Chain A
Amino acid sequence: MEHLLSNIQRMCMQDGPGIRTTVFMKGCGIHCPWCSNPENLSFEAEEYTRSDGKGVYGSSYSIDEIYQEIIKDRDYWGSDGGVTFSGGEALMHMDFLRELFQRLKDQEIHLAVETSLFVPEELVKQALEYIDFFYVDVKILNVEKCRILLGGDSMLYRRNVDTLIHSGKRICFRIPCSERYTLQEDNKKLILEFVRQYQQISIEIFKLHRMGESKYQSLGKRMIEDYGCADTVFMEFFENLKQQGNQVSVIRL
């Protein structure tokens, strides 16, 4: 069985504990307006055009091919590093990845996923068998807005977060900050309320960036313009989180 991946990136410093190799799965269940990996939204291969020529986002890999590629850096992972699955939505690819997870788990390799958690509860439960560390995005929490902006079911999201929390696995919340979206006044309140329940979970916040812009262009799409976040707003949010007792840090992606 083969499956589409957009990239296997070695020596990632920001995708979990230690040095990691990150596997980017192609295909996502939601569509955040600010997405920085537009090439990973569709489950199909997509042709792109760049100044140096045409190409295709998405290459087919077998489980063994992925394994051989990621295992090259095993020596550098040390005791805390390992492999992170990202995307797109890594958990949407559970059926394909299960065999790989098992193979890596058998070798006691530390596994992480970056997930938005907008996936069927069953998939989350399956992932719990293998995954040691979860990066969980916190984005839009109002039911209606979540449906419109992201195309996601925020009640499902909340249930999945609950499942994860009760599993006792290591979790880190990641909050992408944008004045227009995530930090819009009502949503900001909802986020603060939401994470207040989970004081034991560390939080990483970051400002949205334009690093995905050239990928949008290569696909003949345009990246949204009004994604920004003023320093003052960003730092105020940081302070709000701190004041209510959350462990929060700022990261630069």
Chain B
Amino acid sequence: MKDIYIPSLGGDVRLHKKKQDGSLLRERENYKKIYAKEFSDIYNESTLVEGFICMCQNQRIYIDKNWQFVYFIDYVYALDKIRGYRFGNLTPSYEILLSHGLSELKYSNPDTPFCSDYNKIIDGMECIVERIIKEIRCGNTKKSEDKIRWFENLKIRPAEHFAEALQRILFVNQIMWQTDHYLTGLGSLDQLLYPYYEQDLRTGHTDEKTAKEQLKEFLQILHQYYWYKSSMLMGDTGQIIILGGSDKEENYRYTVLTEQFLDLVQELQLPDPKLLLRVNDRIPEKLLKKALLCMGTGVGSPIFSNDNVIIPALKKFGIKEEDACSYAVSACWEPLIAGKSVSLNNMTTLNYMRPLENLFRRERLARLGTFDEFIECYIIYLKRNLNAVKRILTNARFQYDPILSVFIEGCREKQKDVSWGGAEYFHAGITSVALGNVIDALLNIKEYVYERKKYSLTEVRKMILTNYAGREKDQKALKSKKRYFGTDKEEVIQLTQKIMNATTRFTKDYRNEYGGKLKFGLSAPTYIDAAVDMYASFDGRKYGDPFAVHISNETADSYTEILNFASALDYGDNRFNGNVIDFMVAPDFIQNNVDKFVTLIKTAIKKGIFQLQMNVVSSETLICAKKNPDAFPNLIVRVWGFSAFFIDLPDEYKDILISRALKNEGKEG
């Protein structure tokens, strides 16, 4: 236990000794219990607001002398009590604290309980600021004068300069993590910071080199506490920075900071923070090339998100044009409006395999005489499943959260907490898993049962429910077939769309208690977890084996095949809650063909893909790294929507990546 890093002491998270069995997160939970005990005695007896005040007064102020910015999280005082559905997986409005001093945010007449709580939260933050200033004065730290001025300003007035703006963003971010808002995003920093940057350079307040150094330190600081911030797996931090994007006229806008973020992430080679580059068909090829070269280094960033498809979908869903044009994403891919939206984008997962399994277990198969009848029957079972999903959403109760309310636009004006619908947007999102496996299974049923009549439905049921007992040959044959899902055959696209449309049909009328609608998408982190108790399926998948990842197909003829597939799908209505294509790419492939890759991606954007991420890694490296982790401490991979150190992952995730890489390289079935 000694080598475990204790966040309340600050320092570099990489100090902790890497473990290969994924046990770090469990140890973190133990630590949380031990260290939080002292605090919880006070906290258990108090309201969240009192707890927050107590935290502000008592948390350890840690100022790292190596950095020019102040950033710390004290483990002991993490406010992690869950009272209702916890808000997280979102991006606060950093803008609020950039354009206001803390005291300017307070209500002058806090005559409602919410206003009073709101002011108390601000009081708490002022208390931390005072304590930070005091600590800086005590210590002789780097650039003390600057720091003191920044924090003095923070109390009373908007940020004035670039470095000060960086410090404020760090402060808000720190408060969010300290109060255990998991998966806190960073928003469109290239846009948000640009006015400060431009003004400082113009007035000679700073120069390009200094500013870039500051930005680098900013990223390094955010990478600290990697362990603490990780959610389901190491690296799953949700620290995503959004870059570039369309304006209202559909022009592509980006700044010099967009390029700097790409340069710095490429230079630092850290999996965190992660970058998402919003793209459209007018993106300059120079920028796309830079992004591809960054991705080609294997750092896991950026992922691409296509404004040509996403913005119209958001607008049609009811998001104001201005907000749609400034969308960010939750931790992974699900679009949301940063600072205005408490959309819980991943409230639960729809498992598309469940209805198919239920159909086989419960349905009188003899009545399904045609493939069309079979599909209609599947859709009836899908509807039942979606009813269960909607019940889960309706039953959710949200945590009263005046801390988050300070950083979400709409709450202050409406004098309403986020949990009472204070935010501008309060939509609910679900992710989905296994549609690829279902499409493969359904089209195999079409081929082998209805067309070639090789098996009866009853035989298929038996194979599924007995995990292919005595039918290993059939299982192997199905497994080694080229997959349907993710190919550009018309019947595959149509069937996929049909099931997506049915999902819309059964979810579009849903409203939560604040009028929020329900959206879904074809990407999910749960491709392993959701599959553990699932019977075998007729795509050759055996009992409990993982589902396929997002929109992927390693058996496809080429990337163009899956790009064609994904861009043929209609993501309108409510089907836009993250739809990411996931490629495996051999190292050097991008570097050796970068101009052609630019053409490939730009064409895919024009054709209408939704999002795209790549794992740039070879099977050979992954296999070596699994055997000999010490030799590959810095190998980065993309897991679901996040990038992480390969050696931090549990074996089951490592194995999936290895198997996908082998298939991609044509080395395995």
A166 at the interface (CB under 8 A from B): no
Q: Which residue of A lies closest to B477 (CB)?
A: A53
A19 near B600: Cβ-Cβ < 8 Å: yes
A52 to B555, CA, bound (A): 15
A10 near B558: Cβ-Cβ < 8 Å: yes
B600 near A76: Cβ-Cβ < 8 Å: yes
Across-interface contacts of B560 in A (CB, < 8 A): 10-11, 19, 72-73, 76
B480 at the interface (CB under 8 A from A): yes
A165 at the interface (CB under 8 A from B): no
Q: Which residue of B lies closest to A20 (CB)?
A: B596
B669 at the interface (CB under 8 A from A): yes
A157 to B561, CA, bound (A): 38
Across-interface contacts of A72 in B (CB, < 8 A): 488, 560-561, 564
Which of A10, A11, A75 makes the CB contact (< 8 A) with B607?
A: A75
A76 to B558, CA, bound (A): 12
A60 at the interface (CB under 8 A from B): no
A75 near B603: Cβ-Cβ < 8 Å: yes
Q: Which residue of B lies closest to A76 (CB)?
A: B603
B593 at the interface (CB under 8 A from A): yes
A9-B558, A10-B560 known; A81-B488 Cβ under 8 A: no
Across-interface contacts of B603 in A (CB, < 8 A): 75-76, 78
For chain B residues 587-604, which have a beta carbon within 8 Å of chain A?
589, 592-593, 596, 599-600, 603-604
Across-interface contacts of A75 in B (CB, < 8 A): 603, 606-607
A252 at the interface (CB under 8 A from B): yes
A135 to B557, CA, bound (A): 24
B561 near A10: Cβ-Cβ < 8 Å: yes
For chain A residues 72-107, which have a beta carbon within 8 Å of chain B?
72-73, 75-76, 78, 81
Q: Which residue of B lies closest to A80 (CB)?
A: B599
Across-interface contacts of A252 in B (CB, < 8 A): 592
Q: Which residue of B lies closest to A7 (CB)?
A: B557
Across-interface contacts of A78 in B (CB, < 8 A): 599, 603
A10 to B561, CA, bound (A): 8
A9 near B557: Cβ-Cβ < 8 Å: yes
Which of B557, B589, B600, B669 makes the CB contact (< 8 A) with A52?
A: B669
A73 to B596, CA, bound (A): 14
Q: Count A-B pairs with CB separation below 8 Å.
A: 43
Q: Which residue of B lies closest to A79 (CB)?
A: B599
* Secondary structure call for the B interface: helix
A18 at the interface (CB under 8 A from B): yes
Q: Which residue of B lies closest to A251 (CB)?
A: B592
A235 at the interface (CB under 8 A from B): no
A18 near B596: Cβ-Cβ < 8 Å: yes
A13 at the interface (CB under 8 A from B): yes
**B298: min CB distance to chain A, Å:** 19
B559 at the interface (CB under 8 A from A): yes
Across-interface contacts of A52 in B (CB, < 8 A): 480, 669
Across-interface contacts of B564 in A (CB, < 8 A): 72-73
Interface size counted on chain A using CB atoms at 8 A: 14
Q: Which residue of B lies closest to A12 (CB)?
A: B558
For chain A residues 44-66, which have a beta carbon within 8 Å of chain B?
52
Q: Which residue of B lies closest to A69 (CB)?
A: B557
For chain B residues 547-565, which have a beta carbon within 8 Å of chain A?
557-561, 563-564
A11 near B488: Cβ-Cβ < 8 Å: no
A13 to B669, CA, bound (A): 24
For chain A residues 159-174, which have a beta carbon within 8 Å of chain B?
none
**B488: min CB distance to chain A, Å:** 6
A28 to B607, CA, bound (A): 38
A252 to B564, CA, bound (A): 28
Across-interface contacts of B607 in A (CB, < 8 A): 75
A72 to B606, CA, bound (A): 15
Interface centre among B560, B564, B607 (most CB of A within 10 A): B560
Q: Which residue of A lies closest to B669 (CB)?
A: A52
A76 to B564, CA, bound (A): 10
A252 to B607, CA, bound (A): 31
Across-interface contacts of B563 in A (CB, < 8 A): 76
Q: Which residue of A lies closest to B556 (CB)?
A: A10
A10-B561, A52-B480, A72-B488 known; A19-B596 Cβ under 8 A: yes
Q: Which residue of B lies closest to A73 (CB)?
A: B560
Which of B558, B592, B606 makes the CB contact (< 8 A) with A11?
A: B558
**A82: min CB distance to chain B, Å:** 12
Across-interface contacts of A18 in B (CB, < 8 A): 596, 599
A18-B599, A19-B600, A52-B669 known; A10-B592 Cβ under 8 A: no
**B309: min CB distance to chain A, Å:** 16
A52-B669, A75-B606, A75-B607 known; A13-B480 Cβ under 8 A: no
For chain B residues 575-629, which have a beta carbon within 8 Å of chain A?
589, 592-593, 596, 599-600, 603-604, 606-607
The contact sample of 22 A-B pairs, CB cut-off 8 A, is A9-B557, A10-B560, A11-B558, A11-B559, A11-B600, A13-B593, A18-B596, A19-B560, A19-B599, A52-B480, A72-B564, A73-B558, A73-B560, A73-B564, A75-B603, A75-B606, A75-B607, A76-B560, A76-B563, A76-B599, A76-B603, A78-B603
**Which residue numbers of B lie inside 8 Å of A, CB to CB?**
480, 488, 557-561, 563-564, 589, 592-593, 596, 599-600, 603-604, 606-607, 669
**Which residue numbers of A lie inside 8 Å of B, CB to CB?**
9-11, 13, 18-19, 52, 72-73, 75-76, 78, 81, 252
Closest CB pairs A-B (n = 7): A11-B558, A10-B558, A13-B593, A11-B560, A76-B603, A73-B560, A78-B599
Taking A13-B596, A73-B564, A76-B603 as given, write out 11 further A-B residue pairs in contact, using a Cβ cutoff of 8 Å, ordered by the A residue number: A11-B559, A11-B560, A11-B600, A13-B592, A18-B596, A18-B599, A19-B560, A19-B596, A76-B563, A76-B604, A252-B592
